[in-house]
Structure 1
Amino acid sequence: MSGVKVTIAGIDTATLPVLTHQQMMVYFKQYQVGDLAAKEELVLGNLRLVLSLVQRFAGRGESPEDLFQVGCVGLIKAIQNFDLKHQVRFSTYAVPMIIGEMKRHLREKHPLRIARSLRDIAYQALTAREELIREFGYEPTIKDIAARLERKEEDVLFALDALHEPMSLHEPLHQDSGESVYFMDQLKDNNTSEDLWTTFMLLKERLKHLSSRQLQILQQRIFHGATQVELATRFNLSQAQVSRLEKSAYTLLQSDL
């Protein structure tokens, strides 16, 4: 976004500085001995990082300005807790904390009601996760978090999963050399094309709209080789009714594919 004027939360992003890794290490050493001016430089030098992460939550019904401000809170927390002895790049450490603040902000407006006990476990798990990241400098596993909380792994996993919002296959995750990397890109493998994967997902969604009788007919016809006459006898229908049900099921499955 260099050279392009974009104003967000009152800040002209075109004027934001970009710090190299070496510059940030110098500022961190100065800040960690009490130099508050160095902290300000670190904040300013990483606002572009916050801005790039705001794009991940586009279309969630929240203004970019609000998410940017919330992300800045996460950035400041990351700066305050970053430990040079972890020997990791600051962005690697900061991104989960910034995203965590944004997700926490969005969860407060979550349209689904979640049981208080479940929500408490989830927030405890998120807090434990941030503590473990600060202590060890890497993303903890569910097993690590459960051990810290002295809870069963399945309880922690279920609580965290309850807070998740549905994610679009085409939601941008991050930028790679100027190109958006989408959730779909992370699901591809060498044996499955994107077209095949998309068709599979569409087909799976369409199956939800078939009646139980249509599903039974397709299952018997495709996987067991049953004839329409056999199915008519089994389901106490006429052959014409079986044919119409089968035809309507195929019509629905083929739409938008």
Structure 2
Amino acid sequence: MNLPRFPLLSDKEIKSLLRRVKDGDEEAREVLVNCNLKLVFSLVQRFNNRGHELEDLFQIGTIGLIKAIDKFDLSYNVKFSTYAVPLIIGEIRRFLRDDNPVKVSRSLKETVHRVHKAREELTASLGREPSIQEVTEYTGLTGEEIVTAMEAAQTPTSIFETVYQDDGDPIYVMDAIAGETEESSGWFDKIALKDVMQRLPDREKSVLLLRFFEDKTQSQVAAIMNISQVQVSRIERQALKNIRIMLDEQDNG
């Protein structure tokens, strides 16, 4: 994609334009959109190889940017980009979820929407991603309901998704699976994994969802869950160990 070149704005310039937007200045709104298109594009690239053209996802992400501009409250003690990122990503994820071949119930979709909205609002007010406990208190939902909603919002990964590519041929997910050790290669055929995930304790399930479905680092997970990185590492190892045990039990049962 060839984006038009627009200058980077300082925080002071952005706030000045946002004030003008609040007064109904459409020209200021257009400047804010144009000067933040690079931010949208950088976020859209995270969703490459999801079965949609990047140009289409870019348009969806731009809608999220416009919503961020219209909804931003100047009383928020956060940078505009900090507020805009989760709204842009949320808009793209909603599009992918609604277009997802894996259908979920209407009530679960409503819960997913409620959780996403709460996370966006808390991110804006806190200046960081909220912990699951904070979302629980904000929404009145249980931790299990929130984790289930987060899981339902994930888009399935294609086995033909590119994992790595340099000057040679790309490496796909299926190549990585095929190249695993004998001990772990059978996991590809274990469709029971989702059922096993549901049986994990809430904390273990939350860590795995954040780490492997939302691509968070251990440090980011620690901040979201209000625990130490050492605890995250320990919980992650225990969760993976529990999954292996339960899958082995199913094979031998």
Same fold (TM over 0.5): yes
Aligned to 2:210: none
Give the residue type in structure 2 aligned to 1:84: L
Over the matched positions of the two proteins, sequence identity in percent amounts to 38
CA deviation profile, 1:21-71 (whole Å, cap 9, x unmatched): 332122123323333321111111101111111111111111122111111
C-alpha distance in 1 between matches for 2:146 and 2:105: 14
Q: Which stretch has the larger CA shift, 66-75 or 113-122?
A: 113-122
> SS in structure 1 opposite 2:45?
helix
Shift of residue 128, structure 1, vs aligned partner: 2.0
CA distance in 2, matches of 1:92, 1:60: 25
Aligned residues of 1:31 and 1:38 also touching (Cα < 8 A): yes
Q: Secondary structure at the match of 1:18?
A: coil
Match of 2:154 in 1: 164
Q: Across the two proteins, how many residue pairs are aligned to each other?
A: 175
Q: Is the 8 A contact 1:78 1:97 kept in 2?
A: yes
Residue of structure 2 in register with 1:91 after alignment: 81
Relative contact order (C-alpha < 8 Å, sep 6+): which is higher?
2
Match of 2:68, as an amino acid?
Answer: A
* Residues 31-110 of structure 1: pairs in structure 2 closer than 5 A: 31-110=21-100
CA RMSD in angstroms comes to: 2.9
Is 1:206 equivalent to 2:185 in the alignment?
Answer: yes
Deviation at 1:171, TM superposition (A): 7.8
How does the TM-score come out when normalised to structure 2? 0.60
Structure 1: tracts of 5 or more residues without a match: 1-5, 8-12, 173-197, 212-257
CA contact (8 A) 1:43 1:75 kept: yes
Q: Secondary structure at the match of 1:84?
A: coil
With the length of structure 1 as denominator, give the TM-score of the two structures.
0.59
Deviations 1:96-126 (A, max 9, x none): 1101000100111112122333222112211
- Note if contact 2:77-2:125 (Cα within 8 Å) is conserved in structure 1: no
* 1:126-174 superposed Cα distances (whole Å, 9 cap, x missing partner): 12222333444432222222222222111111121122135679489xx
Distance of aligned partners of 1:207 and 1:141 in 2 relative to their CA distance in 1, 3 Å threshold: same
Query: Secondary structure of 1:86's match?
Result: coil
TM-superposition CA deviations, 1:200-254 (whole Å, max 9, x none): x93364143799xxxxxxxxxxxxxxxxxxxxxxxxxxxxxxxxxxxxxxxxxxx
Return closer, same or farther for 1:208/1:133 CA change in 2, 3 Å cut-off: closer
The letter for the 2-side match of 1:77 is: K
Matched residue, 1:122 = 112
Asked whether the equivalents of residues 123 and 129 of structure 2 are also in contact (C-alpha less than 8 Å), the reply is yes
* Counterpart Cα distance in 2 of 1:31 and 1:117: 36
- Match of 1:227? none
How far apart, CA to CA, are the structure 2 residues paired with 1:73 and 1:90?
Answer: 15
8 Å Cα contact 1:81-1:134 kept in structure 2: no
> Contact between 1:54 and 1:68, CA under 8 Å: does it hold in 2?
yes
Structure 2 residues without counterparts, runs of 5 or longer: 166-175, 191-253
Matched, 1:24 2:2: no
**Quick one: which amino acid aligns to residue 79 of structure 1?**
I
| Residues 1:136 and 1:120: Cα distance change in structure 2 (over 3 Å) | same
